[in-house]
Amino acid sequence: MKKRILGKNGLEVSALGYGCMGLDFSYAHKVSRQEGITLIRQAVERGVTFFDTAEMYGPYTNEETVGKALRPVREQVVFATKFGFNIVDGKMAGTNSRPEQIKAVADASLIPATGHSSTQGAHDMNQNWDKTFPKSDAVNHRKVTYKNRVGIDIVADMYSPKTASANAPVAALAVGHPYGGVKEQTSGFYAQSMAERGFIALAFDASFGGESGGEPRRISSPEIFAEDFSAAVDFLGVQPEVDLEKIGVLGICGSGGFSLAAAEIDPRIKALATVSMYDIGGMVRDGFGKSQNEGEYRSMLEAVGQQRWAEAAGAEVKMAGGAPMEVTDDMPRIFREFHEYYHTPRGQHPRTPSTFTMTSNAVMSSARPFEALGLISPRPLLFIAGSAAESLYFSKDAYDMASEPKELHIVQGATHVDLYDRSDLIPWGKLESFFGKYLAK
């Protein structure tokens, strides 16, 4: 196979490239995932080293096929991708060619083939500011990476007081983002704000999403999501400026449930607070507001089983859930709030996964973080929720089932998503005093 040089930096590729779009997108005939992998690997054997894919092909499924096919020869091939669209819930939702979007698209195209998202490798962390909130001059920020217990690369933002040093280690917090969010949104805002109050705070992307690794992308795993909190404690505990006996956890929305599950089995977590906590497992089993009966739950499990067979036979991965693209007057207000946060400039970010695989619903429904809350005692628990939040019942149920010491703090007038980024409603003083009291011991 003849070679060609692209551009001015000596990038060498095969003269013949392989445009992979037609494997599972656009044209009338699609091949199965395994057939696509076989075709791509046959092209490699014939000397092709240049492969074209894009997030809009599927969307996403073509990247997954190409990535799985080329992962064994990743260092021998070159990827090309495209950008320019916002894709939400599997549909194109306008155009977007901002620099941060371009990088996010390029990163995401590499994940299936590399296991991580950085276009320069897992440990070359871009330190550019790409958050949905302003950068504070009062704290230090750096992007870090580490592995969780099962070997997945976790990417996180660490915020530190400017006075932090190995000579005077301080308390630290691991901060989890809402279900379907990323560290550049709510959790990063909380982490930076807590760093302004004297804590080292780590906001991480959960496995299978954002800049963190893990395959397949956009699956839900309650075990791994809880493990991600313990992995954050691993990382924080070996930082010289952190007092490893003073590590707490702050879980927001869906990660609040996962943080409870982590604390139940990880006594290194010395204090735990949740904000607008949302029990994803309970919601999948019982419906939002406990509106689903057992028959409907069983029907969901049957549908998941059928979809697993379909995907095993080569069908496209089916996505479900996430913040709705469109809102209606008859849907619960909380879903309209999710739309307003994730799909408008208020909180929109190009790496937000938005949806998860439909087959994840079955295993997610097995998550029951409230049933072993007694194991957290005598470590303290703080549940923060808005009085106008339709999700308030999750925090109330958890509070009732937890052992002392525990506290339920209600923010008057606040809705669920108000506590994502409404700094005037978020009870910063309560969080500071809670962690200050219990992590100072």
Question: What CATH number did the domain enclosing 80 receive?
Answer: 3.20.20.100
In this prediction, residues 97-103 reach a mean pLDDT of: 76
Domain containing 77 equals 3-114
In this prediction, residues 265-277 reach a mean pLDDT of: 98
Q: What pLDDT shows up at residue 324?
A: 87
Q: What pLDDT shows up at residue 115?
A: 53
Given a cut of 50, whether residue 119 has pLDDT beyond it is: no
Same domain? For 185 and 96 the reply is: no
Same domain? For 12 and 160 the reply is: no
- Residue with the two structure tokens 């995401």: 108
Find out whether 174 and 249 touch, Cβ atoms under 8 Å.
yes
Question: The domain that contains 239 carries what CATH number?
Answer: 3.40.50.1820
- Residue with the two structure tokens 């799909």: 343
In this prediction, residues 80-96 reach a mean pLDDT of: 76
Same domain? For 150 and 97 the reply is: no
SS3 66: helix
CB atoms within 10 A of CB 306: 11
| Total number of domains in the chain | 2
Same domain? For 63 and 168 the reply is: no
Q: How confident is the model at residue 112 (pLDDT cuts 50, 70, 90)?
A: low
Give 333-379 pLDDT, tens digit per residue.
999 999 999 999 999 998 886 689 999 999 999 999 999 999 999 99
Lowest mean pLDDT among 11-25, 210-224, 265-279: 11-25
Q: How confident is the model at residue 67 (pLDDT cuts 50, 70, 90)?
A: confident
Q: Is residue 324 part of a domain?
A: yes
Nearest Cα neighbor of 246 from 231, 236, 258 is 236
Same domain? For 229 and 103 the reply is: no
- Number of residues in the chain: 441
Find out whether 36 and 65 touch, Cβ atoms under 8 Å.
yes
Same domain? For 183 and 108 the reply is: no
Q: What pLDDT shows up at residue 197?
A: 97
Same domain? For 103 and 200 the reply is: no
Encoding tokens for residue 378?
């005598």
Same domain? For 186 and 332 the reply is: yes
Tell me which DSSP letter residue 44 carries: H
Same domain? For 155 and 110 the reply is: no
Q: What pLDDT shows up at residue 62?
A: 85
Average pLDDT, the chain: 90
Q: What pLDDT shows up at residue 30?
A: 77
In this prediction, residues 200-228 reach a mean pLDDT of: 95
In this prediction, residues 277-299 reach a mean pLDDT of: 95
In this prediction, residues 105-128 reach a mean pLDDT of: 55
Same domain? For 151 and 83 the reply is: no
Give 148-191 pLDDT, tens digit per residue.
999 999 999 999 999 998 899 999 999 999 999 999 999 999 99
Q: What pLDDT shows up at residue 206?
A: 97
Q: What pLDDT shows up at residue 155?
A: 94
